[in-house]
Amino acid sequence: MKEIWDQWGDEIRQLFYSNYGDLPYLLDIEVDKHLFRALV
């Protein structure tokens, strides 16, 4: 998904933000076993 996001231009990114909010920021979170365990 991150590769797709990196290919999009500003106009498409703004449209995505308006529909899904801060969801794209989750693409930059590094998930480790401790974080994953806390989420489940």
pLDDT-derived band at 36, boundaries 50, 70, 90? low
* pLDDT per residue as tens digits for the range 4-34: 878 888 898 888 888 887 776 776 667 676 6
| Distances from the Cα of 39 to the Cα of 16, 31, 32, 34, angstroms | 25, 10, 11, 9
Which tokens go with 4? 């797709």
pTM for this predicted structure: 0.45
Nearest to 4 by CA among 21, 23, 18: 23
| Distances from the Cα of 14 to the Cα of 3, 11, 31, 34, 37, angstroms | 17, 5, 25, 32, 32
Which tokens go with 2? 């991150």
